[in-house]
Amino acid sequence: MNKPNVILLLAALLVSHLAAATEEQTERTASEGEPGTTIAAPAETAEAGVSERLRHKERATGILDVPLDGSSVEAFESGLEKVRSEASPEDYNRLSQALKWHQFYNLAAKSDKEKLYRLLDGKTPRQIMDTAGNR
């Protein structure tokens, strides 16, 4: 066999092996799921075109994992009100303290709520709490 044929043979074996592994993973995932559910193969999932931000919202485990809208003061404060109504009092207090920390120590915001909310746009309450005091 000449060198180009060996390379083609190896490529064909690799593709075959990867296809078998993907099929096995799909079958295993489907068998672990609920009866009657269909699991999409990885290639089909990638082609779905769903943005990462929307998927993050859908799989969010709670209000602390939903990104806040910092496009305006009203939008951000509306999101904060939703967090206040759905989160535990302890979590909301931690978020409130974290926002005060960011407003005081974030030099880019210069103690301006509108600038601060724009800087925090798209961050989850959990991310805001985690970054306060950790700079």
* pLDDT tens-digit map of 88-112: 999 999 999 999 999 999 888 888 9
Estimate to the nearest angstrom the gap between the alpha carbon of 15 and the chain centroid.
31
Residue whose C-alpha is closest to residue 39's, from 23, 53, 15, 59 = 23
Strands (E), the chain: none
Tell me the pLDDT of the chain averaged across its residues: 74
CA distances from 111 to 100, 104, 134 (A): 9, 6, 19
What tokens were used for 39? 């699991």
Note the pLDDT tens digit of each residue in 25-56: 444 444 445 444 444 444 444 444 444 544 44
**What does DSSP assign to residue 110?**
T
Residue 92 structure tokens: 């909301």
Q: What is the largest CA-CA distance in the chain?
A: 73
Domain ranges within the chain, ordered by starting residue? 3-48, 53-131
Over residues 14-24, the pLDDT tens digits come to 556 555 555 54
